Amino acid sequence: MGSSRVESSSQLKCNSNGEVLCYCKQVSPISTAWTKENAGRRFYGCSRFKEGGCKFFDWYEEPLPKRVGDMLFALREKKIKLGNENQRLKRQLWNVGIKDVNDGDYAGGSTSTGVVGSNVVADEATGKYHGVEPEEIEKIKIEVDLLKEENRRLKHKAYSNKKSKEIYRFCLFLSCVINGFILLFLKSKSNGNGFMSLP
């Protein structure tokens, strides 16, 4: 398996391809933990855990250095927060009548890496941080930047839509006032029975 994986007290069972099997004899996928203590740390688990499968669990790798784990956790939280803000702004735009909002899915993301049975070496020579590629961290940063830009664009669109509504309301109010003055002027020029008098 991987040289940096923490072995549990029990020996892991593997199939002929070297993939780890859970107690149900199913291939155990590698998932990523997103708790504060183990942010970004990968582990083996039962693929049918939510459907009543076994409670198989074993860490795939050693704990991440605290700084890397904290950084991954903070970036993921920021990504989720910006995704929620993005969705809120899209709903707000939809409510005011703008329906051509780009529906890019930035708030999603899978907790499973899809990698089974590969080795992860945690050393500086490979550029990995206990199994986390610098490219992964950079990818999350890029997604956060994209969400920030989308947020700015949606806020600007909502602001300009609000301004155009205010201008429309002001023009409507102004036309009502002008029509009122015209009616008052015509009323003052009328001869009492509703008709204008001739000069």
Rounded to whole angstroms, the Cα distance separating 95 from 97 reads: 5
Asked whether residue 192 is assigned to any structural domain, the reply reads no
Q: Is residue 177's pLDDT more than 90? A: yes
pTM check: above 0.85:
no
Q: Is residue 185 part of a domain?
A: no
> Does residue 183 belong to any structural domain of this protein?
no
Which residue range(s) make up the domain with 135? 13-171
Is residue 93 assigned to a domain?
A: yes
- How many structural domains does the chain have? 1
Structure tokens at 102: 């780009």
Distant-in-sequence, close-in-space partners of 114: CB < 8 Å, separation ≥ 6:
29, 30
Please tell me the predicted confidence (pLDDT) of residue 194. Answer: 60
Q: What is the pLDDT of residues 82-131, one digit of tens each?
A: 989 888 888 877 776 666 655 544 334 433 333 333 333 344 445 555 55
| Burial label, 56 (beta-carbon count in 10 A; 0-12, 13-18, 19+) | buried
Q: Give a yes or no: residue 78 inside a domain.
A: yes
- 3 within domain boundaries: no
Residue 163 lies in a domain: yes
Residue 79 lies in a domain: yes
CB contact set of 86 (below 8 Å; sequence gap of 6+): 106, 107, 147, 150, 151, 154
Confidence band of 35 (pLDDT split at 50, 70, 90): confident
